[in-house]
């Protein structure tokens, strides 16, 4: 693999950039692989990379129905943070954040991780209680997260309206300074390039149609639109489509898939320095390097695979954004879109073994999958290689829905009384 | 925004009047106290999450207040049926996979699309 | 004359009606009806902006919404400033202030232009390959520079003072687009009597008739026919015509979003008018007549100011009366551009040459060119241009080689053919199909009840468009049940039949070239960038788009998508449909946030709920806290008191005398019917059949998974009638939860539920003097301890008002809750207050309520529980019936993890130092010296200074808490570690003697 650097770019500039090679190869599938990963998003590609890099397993194929990173990897609002409440969540998201911090250098691909700070607004006493609980838990876990007064919040994010007369006045905020954003496509491409370089096969436009099992019940391969491909182990990491793929192995999942919408404004000169989220008014916002305001809306209420939600979801989100930032009322929405998120009942991910031997699953990341990408991928590689979850992912098992050992971050955000 | 037929009001109304109620036809065990952990998991957590026809519950919360069931294609978001609570799953003539439905234009416009077909 | 390039006798504007505006500080004259673009061109201004990445000088490319270059900043005043406005769409009004964007210090001399020199470095995706060292430099150094160079306009910095409006509308047939096809469709549909909405993004109807001056319809000049037809439609009762209205999004089930621009073209808008209006239209049928957009040619330096689409030049001439140059070149692959040359030539403008890259252009146009004496260079191409701030020459060469010659020009018109606008069709999830013969994507399979007509459907010929429109209008209207009216017939004449068109790079910009042949103008994507993307393995059109940013600018690829696709197709040697088309996303053109939110702002954003006593509380100086949507009185500070002072006083007063508290926000549900007790048995963990009429009980409600969902006191009013209370925030979901079970799981039960939260005002009177306060006000109820013991309810009258009187307590004191109809709330409250105040009682707020209940160890669901807490965890085992065979949550409670040892349990915590008040949310550990990540046992859920205890008190969820009574644990905070002891949760009156006063 040719190394990327400013010198390489300069050299290529002299000759019209004719010398760049494909970032990943597009081979025809082999008859059999040691490992097949279903789903060519950030998690799947990353897992392939770490399998090759850290576990020496290179006879690996990532099989993608469409184009790499075309699912939620390429449709999200790119927020990265790790200030979750429960140990299980902090473990994985902090592991992920640490990997984000060195990912560009590790992959030799600028994923533009930008720790510009993630601020979460508190609007009432209930919010404050919940946020303080997070801050204390984060500190004792070793995660940065701090409380800001309204004035400190305004100083960090000048567009914020902290008037006490607002319908939802701001009584403070949390700030995780290491939180921020990254360039979503680059994550998929960077992993694909690095994995491909280590011998992993990245196979696009190949849809899995069935999972074949051997006489002992363990997996033996996948039926695809490119024919049968054998595999000793299979990991399914197909976000919104996990239920569909797992059903091929007769495994029912505690998942429902719903559209999650987002939108961007027209590009503008820098005005918004960080990421701001407000759970009470349901909105989150940042500004991309291109200058677009990137705004996350909510999920639609019903199951759907349509990547197409209702206008009312978007307008409701903009209601909230314009309430927090009245100067943005004249800004224009340039593009809205949807992704399909797979949600578990406790809104925490599932990563672990399944009732089928040598079939592993990574799903249920809901609206938080992007920030988890490197961490999830790294631990998924461990799971596939060792056959059992890594210590840091030990809580994310599928059987918690039988035992009741849920990781309910949403419930812990509590409710108004 | 969906347009939803309430079988009690016998009206098509905007999604804004309704609240989604999860999967339909999931019967709460009558011997609830005695079921196993596995059966509880099945009842409370596991879902088909189909890419295709889903049977789901809606509540006409800002209308008549009634819960009812509907069959909807989760790919096209088209409703195939809408029926009262307690009624059995309807036989769906068009319950083919969503992709097939998308490929099939609404009947009444065949005439003109024929005329201008490229 | 409003601009030197205005040609007398041309165009449709009235020369006498002028308006003045400024552009970058210089004043110009325009005519009413001008766009900023037409006015600037009339005044000889072609340089209007700078491109996104290379900061190249850019002019006006189009005359419509597809404009990628001429983006300007438009202001009325400081707060009413709008960046990124398309000069080709924005109408001029007198006094408007226009500025160019993305340049510094000036448009003519822009320092950012250095990027153009460095452009060899800035190839597509270069930033993925560099800026990685040193590690910290990305967000500290590189990114800020990139961010500053990117972006276009400057965001508004002041709150927008303008008002926006919104409407929901319903119709039988929505027609989008008022060109020939759309007007025909609307006429036919309206004639049947169907309710029709016709919208068009332009100020006047006509579509392509704006520039096509030759066609006639029913003998009238086309544009005049369009105006007359629109007027006719607008006069019909069943028709709504919306001009300046863009259909921006096509959503599920024929739901279409329109934005109407109401005042942005007016110099002095009436105050009552909104700036823009959002129409949310539910249409039974939709007809899409959205037309086509002309494509540019892709060749070296095709982006200089003065180079524009041929149809745009024709619009400027025929509609605005403006010549875009004096000596004009034409470069085309389509017949349509010839007509621009013909019109200009007839208006007296010199045409340098028509360069046609086809060997055989259409015969009709060539013949006409010959007649007009215009040189046609067939089989030739423009391979380069010159000119810094405006094009000055074009280099023309024979296809396939040759050195070529330079021809002096001051404008260059181009056309690569027309792209049908299938945006809305695609948003409706119809599948586009590639028509190889014409090289176009056209509507294929429909997914919703809509039809495309006219050129957006690939129907080019005038009469065919008319007939398609008429047929669709009639068909769609009849499909909705209308069958009135006569058949409409229209005759269109004098239209050229256009042929030709191409997609992809032209001569001199092919593979192996490194020239800047722009595909996407705004984002500075050249043909070579597309090829680079393919070379780097980006083979999907989505990858190409994302890698190069082709089609991702504010015009969303209206001009660039097809060219990008064709270039990729050529390099990959794969047919266009196999590469795929990127998804068309809403909105068609950008939509103002303010319009999307319309009325939902300020007080209407999320209306606050207030209790009947709210005004009294305000008058008494109460501060309020938000609880759900409610404004609740928080505390009542007296002059000079801090919050803590006020709360201490209120707490003391309640326990020493009495307090009056507004409890109206509590959720209330009337549960009625012969099976009401049985129903509540299923809804709550407690047993209700044993509760006698006239008595109350505290109930716990679980979810099916066994976790605490809500709680509240339930009074049995009669055998078949219960008065249920819920938490303030929980009221709606508890109601929904109950309805759900009643309707779907237990429909055999004869029970009716009614939400009565807002019907009752609730006045809590608590404290040793509570009985003394209310006694004279109560009629028909013996409120003595014996007749009306703790946890009782009676109906009677209070202050002459029918009331439900509860004897209950959330403070641990003798207490009553007076429920009266909401309309009487304030009057009864004032009567109670008139009794209470002289007896030394106070009004108290939610903060004091919280402290008092914590002193007694009463929990608050949602604060001391969080959705992961069982009744056993919360110390409420006594409230869970052991006898019932079923209740919601009975099985969930028995799951392995819910019954295992060591779960978090709610306990009291007292700090070793009684003066230290723990922060709510503080985490508790056993070993304060454990390295991070530390083992957290749980957290503090409630914590207060208790004036009555003379010390701090707290409640906490602690792992194995009950077994830790008396243990010392630690609360490590940011700056110190606080030692605490696990205790019982009841801090005052452990035997509950105060309940009886």
Do both C116 and C172 map to the same domain? no
Distance from CA of C609 to the nearest CA of B (A): 18
Report if residue C869 sits inside a domain. yes
**Does the distance separating the beta carbons of C736 and B108 come in below 8 Å?**
no
Mean pLDDT by runs of 10 across the 118 residues of chain B is 96 96 95 96 96 97 97 95 95 50 34 30
Q: Which residue has the higher pLDDT, C438 or A208?
A: A208
Longest dimension (CA), chain A: 69
Do both C478 and C533 map to the same domain? no
Output the pLDDT for position C455. 96
The CA distance from C346 to C348, in Å, is 5
Do both C484 and C527 map to the same domain? no
Do both C745 and C806 map to the same domain? no
Chain C environment of A265 (Cβ under 8 Å): 590, 593
Domain ranges of chain B: 3-115
pLDDT at A307 over 90: no
pLDDT at A247 over 80: yes
Report if residue C676 sits inside a domain. yes
Continuous segment of H or E residues that includes residue C337: helix C336-346
Sign of CA dihedral C171, C172, C177, C178: negative
Chain A environment of C528 (Cβ under 8 Å): 16-17
Task: Give A413's pLDDT tier (boundaries 50, 70, 90).
Answer: low
Beta-carbon neighbour count of residue C252 at 10 Å? 23
Beta-carbon neighbour count of residue C527 at 10 Å? 30
The CA distance from C85 to C590, in Å, is 10
The CA distance from A114 to C210, in Å, is 49
**Does the distance separating the beta carbons of B74 and A304 come in below 8 Å?**
yes
The CA distance from C614 to C616, in Å, is 5
What is chain A's Cα-based Rg? 21
Which of A302, A307, A350, A401 is best to mutate for the B interface (most B CBs within 10 A)?
A: A302
**Does the distance separating the beta carbons of C447 and B21 come in below 8 Å?**
no
Report if residue C932 sits inside a domain. yes
CATH number for position C792: 3.30.1360.120
Q: For A139-152, write each residue's pLDDT tens digit.
A: 999 999 999 999 99
**Does the distance separating the beta carbons of A104 and C132 come in below 8 Å?**
yes
Do both C518 and C483 map to the same domain? no
Do both C632 and C554 map to the same domain? no
Task: Tell whether omega for the bond before C991 is within 30 degrees of 0, i.e. cis.
Answer: no
Q: Return the partners of chain A (3 or more C-beta pairs < 8 Å).
A: B, C
Report if residue C342 sits inside a domain. no
Domain hosting residue C474, numbered range: 164-292+420-493
Report if residue C480 sits inside a domain. yes
Do both C170 and C228 map to the same domain? yes
Task: Give A81's pLDDT tier (boundaries 50, 70, 90).
Answer: very high
Output the pLDDT for position B93. 66
**Does the distance separating the beta carbons of C451 and B37 come in below 8 Å?**
no
pLDDT at A333 over 70: yes
Name the residue among C789, C921, C944, C779 with its Cα closest to residue C854: C944
Q: ipTM, 2 decimals?
A: 0.96
- Flag whether residue B67 sits within 8 Å of chain C, measured between CB atoms: yes
**Does the distance separating the beta carbons of C861 and A417 come in below 8 Å?**
yes
Do both C180 and C285 map to the same domain? yes
Tokens of C870: 């069982």
pLDDT, mean of residues A278-285:
87
- Flag whether residue A14 sits within 8 Å of chain C, measured between CB atoms: yes
Size of the B and C interface in Cβ pairs below 8 Å: 94
pLDDT at A312 over 70: yes
**Does the distance separating the beta carbons of A124 and C626 come in below 8 Å?**
yes
Do both C651 and C781 map to the same domain? yes
**For residue A220, how many C-alpha atoms fall within 13 Å in the half-sphere facing its CB?**
7
**Does the distance separating the beta carbons of A312 and B48 come in below 8 Å?**
no
**Number of separate domains in chain C:** 6
Which residue, of C493, C521, C542, is where some domain finishes?
Answer: C493
Chain C environment of B2 (Cβ under 8 Å): 252-253
Which residue, of C444, C466, C493, is where some domain finishes?
Answer: C493
Helix (H, G, I), strand (E, B) or coil at C346: helix
Locus of tokens 């002992």: A216
pLDDT-flagged residues of chain C (< 50): none
CATH number for position C524: 1.10.10.1100
Residues 6+ apart with CB under 8 A from C876: C700, C708, C859
Those residues of chain A whose CB sits closer than 8 Å to some CB in chain B are 241, 243-244, 247, 252-257, 301-306, 308, 310-312, 342, 345, 401-403
* CATH number of this structure's domain B3-115: 3.30.2270.10
The CA distance from C238 to C477, in Å, is 12
Which of B3, B105, B117 is best to mutate for the C interface (most C CBs within 10 A)?
A: B105
Name the residue among C390, C231, C363 with its Cα closest to residue C305: C390
The size of chain B, in residues, is: 118
Do both C769 and C642 map to the same domain? yes
CATH number for position C100: 3.10.20.440
The CA distance from C287 to C181, in Å, is 10
Output the pLDDT for position B99. 33
Do both C792 and C898 map to the same domain? no
Do both C790 and C659 map to the same domain? yes
Tokens of C495: 């239209």
Name the residue among A380, A385, A392 with its Cα closest to residue A352: A380
- Flag whether residue C706 sits within 8 Å of chain A, measured between CB atoms: yes
**Does the distance separating the beta carbons of B77 and C705 come in below 8 Å?**
no
CA-nearest residue to C704 within chain A is A404
Report if residue C792 sits inside a domain. yes
Domains of chain A: 25-82+84-109+183-254+346-412 (3.50.50.60), 118-178+257-343 (3.30.9.10)
What is chain B's Cα-based Rg? 18
Of chain A, the percentage scoring pLDDT greater than 70 comes to 98
Output the pLDDT for position A334. 97
Helices C541-548 and C561-572, axial angle in degrees (round to 10): 120
Give, in degrees to the nearest 5, the angle at Cα C547 between C84 and A68: 125
Q: What pTM was computed for the model? A: 0.95
CATH number for position C735: 3.30.70.1400
Report if residue C394 sits inside a domain. no
Report if residue C674 sits inside a domain. yes
From the number of C-beta atoms within 10 Å of its C-beta (0-12, 13-18, 19+), residue A215 rates as exposed
């Amino acid at each position: 693999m040719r190394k990327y650097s400013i010198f390489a770019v300069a050299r290529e500039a002299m000759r019209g950039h004719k010398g760049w090679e494909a970032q990943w190869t597009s081979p025809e599938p082999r008859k059999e692989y040691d490992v097949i990963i279903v789903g060519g998003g950030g998690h799947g590609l990353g897992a392939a990379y770490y399998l090759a890099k850290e576990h020496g397993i290179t006879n690996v194929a990532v099989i993608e129905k469409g184009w790499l990173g075309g699912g939620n990897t390429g449709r999200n609002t790119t927020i990265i943070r790790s200030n979750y409440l429960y140990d299980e969540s902090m473990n994985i998201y902090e592991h992920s954040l640490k990997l984000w911090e060195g990912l560009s250098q590790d992959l030799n691909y600028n994923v533009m991780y930008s720790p510009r700070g993630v601020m979460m607004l508190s609007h009432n006493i209930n919010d404050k209680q919940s946020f303080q609980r997070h801050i204390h838990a984060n500190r004792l876990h070793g995660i940065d997260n701090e409380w800001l007064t309204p004035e400190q919040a305004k100083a960090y994010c000048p567009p914020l309206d902290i008037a006490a007369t607002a319908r939802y006045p701001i009584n403070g905020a949390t700030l995780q300074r290491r939180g921020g954003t990254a360039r979503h496509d680059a994550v998929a491409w960077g992993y694909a390039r690095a994995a491909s370089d280590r011998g992993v096969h990245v196979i696009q436009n190949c849809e899995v149609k069935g999972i074949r099992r051997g006489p002992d019940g363990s997996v033996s391969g996948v039926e695809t639109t490119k024919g049968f491909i054998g595999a000793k182990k299979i990991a399914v990491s197909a976000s919104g489509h996990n239920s569909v793929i797992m059903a091929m192995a007769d495994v029912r999942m505690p998942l429902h898939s719903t559209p999650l919408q987002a939108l961007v404004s027209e590009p503008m000169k820098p005005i918004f320095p960080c990421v701001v989220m407000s759970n009470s008014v349901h909105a989150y916002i940042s500004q991309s390097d291109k200058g677009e305001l990137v705004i996350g809306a909510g999920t639609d209420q019903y199951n759907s695979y349509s990547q197409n939600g209702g206008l009312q979801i978007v307008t409701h989100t903009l209601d909230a954004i314009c309430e927090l930032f009245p100067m943005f009322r004249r800004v224009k929405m340039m593009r809205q879109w949807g992704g399909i998120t797979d949600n578990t009942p406790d809104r925490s991910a599932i990563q672990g073994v399944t009732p089928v031997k040598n079939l592993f699953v990574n799903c249920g990341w809901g609206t938080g999958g992007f920030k988890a990408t490197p961490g999830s991928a790294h631990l998924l590689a461990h799971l596939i290689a060792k056959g059992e979850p890594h210590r840091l992912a030990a809580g994310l098992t599928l059987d918690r829905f039988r035992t009741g050992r849920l990781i309910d971050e949403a419930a812990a955000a509590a409710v108004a009384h | 925004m969906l347009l939803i037929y309430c079988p009690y009001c016998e009206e098509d109304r905007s999604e804004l009047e309704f609240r989604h109620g999860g999967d339909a036809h999931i019967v709460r065990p009558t011997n609830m106290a005695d079921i196993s952990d596995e059966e509880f998991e099945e009842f409370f957590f596991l879902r088909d999450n189909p890419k295709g026809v889903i049977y789901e519950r809606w509540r006409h919360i800002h209308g008549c207040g009634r819960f009812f069931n509907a069959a909807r294609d989760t790919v096209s978001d088209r409703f195939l049926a809408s029926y009262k609570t307690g009624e059995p799953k309807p036989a769906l003539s068009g319950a083919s996979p969503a992709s097939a439905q998308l490929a099939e234009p609404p009947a009444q416009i065949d005439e003109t699309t024929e005329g201008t077909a490229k | 004359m409003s601009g030197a390039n205005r040609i007398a006798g041309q165009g449709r504007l009235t020369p006498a009606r002028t308006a003045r505006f400024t552009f970058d500080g210089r004043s110009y004259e325009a005519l009413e009806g001008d766009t900023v673009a037409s006015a600037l061109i009339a005044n000889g201004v072609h340089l209007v902006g700078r491109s996104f990445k290379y900061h190249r000088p850019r002019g006006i490319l189009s005359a419509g919404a597809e404009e990628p270059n001429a983006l300007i900043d438009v202001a009325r005043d400081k707060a009413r400033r709008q960046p990124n406005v398309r000069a080709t769409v924005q109408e001029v009004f007198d006094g408007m202030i226009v500025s160019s964007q993305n340049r510094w210090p000036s448009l003519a001399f822009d320092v950012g232009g250095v990027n153009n020199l460095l452009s060899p470095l800035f190839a597509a995706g270069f930033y993925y390959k560099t800026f990685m060292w040193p590690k910290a430099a990305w967000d500290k150094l590189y990114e800020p520079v990139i961010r500053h160079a990117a972006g276009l306009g400057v965001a508004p910095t002041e709150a927008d003072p303008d008002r926006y409006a919104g409407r929901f509308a319903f119709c039988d047939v929505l027609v989008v687009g008022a060109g020939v096809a759309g007007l025909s469709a609307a006429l036919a549909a309206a004639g049947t009597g169907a309710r029709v909405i016709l919208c068009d993004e332009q100020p006047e109807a006509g579509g392509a008739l704006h520039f096509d001056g030759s066609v006639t319809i029913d003998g009238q000049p086309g544009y005049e026919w369009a105006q007359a037809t629109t007027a006719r439609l607008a006069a019909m009762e069943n028709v709504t015509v919306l001009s300046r209205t863009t259909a921006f999004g096509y959503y599920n089930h024929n739901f279409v979003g329109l934005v109407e621009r109401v005042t942005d073209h007016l110099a002095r808008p009436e105050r009552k008018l909104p700036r823009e209006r959002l129409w949310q239209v539910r249409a039974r049928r939709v007809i899409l007549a959205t037309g086509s957009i002309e494509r540019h040619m892709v060749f070296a330096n095709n982006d200089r100011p003065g180079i524009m689409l041929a149809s745009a030049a024709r619009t400027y001439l025929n509609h605005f009366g403006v010549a875009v140059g004096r000596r004009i070149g034409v470069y085309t692959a389509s017949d349509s551009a010839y007509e621009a040359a013909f019109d200009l030539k007839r208006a007296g403008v010199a045409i340098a040459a028509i360069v046609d890259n086809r060997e055989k252009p259409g015969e009709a146009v060539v013949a006409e060119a010959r007649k007009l004496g215009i040189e046609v260079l067939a089989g030739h191409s423009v391979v380069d241009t010159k000119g810094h701030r405006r094009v000055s020459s074009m280099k023309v060469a024979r296809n396939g080689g040759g050195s070529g010659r330079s021809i002096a020009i001051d404008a260059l018109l181009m056309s690569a053919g027309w792209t049908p606008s299938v945006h809305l069709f695609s948003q409706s999830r119809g599948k586009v199909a590639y028509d190889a013969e014409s090289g176009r994507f056209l509507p294929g399979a429909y997914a919703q009840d809509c039809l495309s007509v006219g050129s957006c459907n690939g129907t080019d010929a005038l009469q065919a468009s008319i007939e398609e429109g008429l047929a669709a209008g009639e068909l769609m209207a009849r499909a909705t049940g209308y069958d009135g009216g006569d058949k409409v017939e229209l005759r269109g004449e004098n239209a050229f039949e256009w042929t030709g068109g191409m997609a992809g790079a032209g001569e001199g910009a092919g593979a192996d070239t490194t020239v800047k042949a722009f595909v996407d103008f705004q984002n500075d994507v050249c043909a070579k960038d597309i090829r680079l993307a393919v070379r780097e393995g980006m083979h999907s059109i989505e990858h190409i788009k994302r890698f190069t940013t082709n089609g991702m600018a504010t015009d969303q690829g209206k001009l660039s998508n097809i060219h990008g696709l064709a270039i990729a197709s050529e390099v990959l040697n794969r047919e266009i449909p196999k590469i795929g088309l990127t998804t068309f996303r809403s909105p068609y053109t950008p939509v103002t946030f303010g319009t999307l939110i319309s009325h939902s702002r300020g007080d209407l954003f999320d209306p606050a709920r207030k209790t009947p006593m709210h005004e009294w509380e305000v008058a008494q100086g109460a501060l309020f806290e938000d609880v759900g949507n409610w404004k609740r009185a928080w505390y009542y500070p007296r002059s000079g008191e801090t919050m803590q002072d006020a709360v201490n006083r209120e707490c003391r007063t309640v326990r020493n005398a009495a307090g009056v508290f507004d409890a109206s926000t509590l959720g209330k549900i009337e549960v009625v019917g012969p099976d009401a007790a049985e129903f509540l048995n299923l809804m709550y963990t407690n047993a209700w059949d044993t509760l006698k009429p006239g008595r109350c009980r505290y109930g716990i409600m679980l979810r099916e998974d066994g976790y605490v969902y809500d709680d509240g006191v339930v009074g049995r009013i009669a055998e078949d009638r219960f008065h249920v209370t819920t938490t303030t925030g929980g009221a709606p979901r508890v109601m929904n939860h109950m309805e759900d079970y009643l309707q779907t799981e237990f429909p055999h039960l004869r029970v009716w539920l009614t939400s009565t939260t807002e019907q009752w005002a609730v006045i809590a009177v608590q404290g040793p003097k509570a009985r003394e306060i209310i006694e004279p006000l109560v009629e028909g109820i013996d409120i003595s301890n014996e007749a009306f013991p703790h946890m009782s309810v009676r109906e009677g009258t209070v202050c002459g008002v029918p009331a439900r009187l509860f004897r209950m307590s959330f403070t641990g004191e003798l207490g009553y809750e007076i429920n009266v109809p909401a309309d009487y709330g304030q009057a009864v409250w004032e009567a109670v207050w008139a009794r209470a105040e002289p007896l030394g009682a106070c009004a108290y707020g939610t903060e004091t309520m919280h402290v008092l209940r914590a002193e007694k160890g009463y929990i608050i669901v949602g604060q001391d529980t969080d959705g992961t807490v069982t009744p056993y965890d919360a110390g409420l085992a006594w409230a869970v019936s052991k006898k019932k065979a079923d209740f919601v949550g009975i099985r969930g409670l028995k799951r392995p993890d819910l019954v295992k040892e060591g779960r978090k349990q709610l306990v009291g915590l007292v700090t070793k130092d009684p003066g230290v008040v723990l922060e709510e949310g503080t985490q508790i550990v056993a070993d304060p010296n454990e390295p991070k990540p530390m083992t957290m046992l749980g957290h503090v859920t409630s914590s207060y200074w208790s004036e009555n205890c003379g010390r701090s008190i707290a409640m906490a969820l602690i792992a194995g808490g009950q077994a830790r009574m008396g243990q010392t644990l630690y609360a490590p905070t940011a700056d110190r570690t606080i030692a605490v002891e696990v205790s019982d949760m009841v801090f005052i009156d452990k035997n509950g003697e105060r309940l009886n006063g």
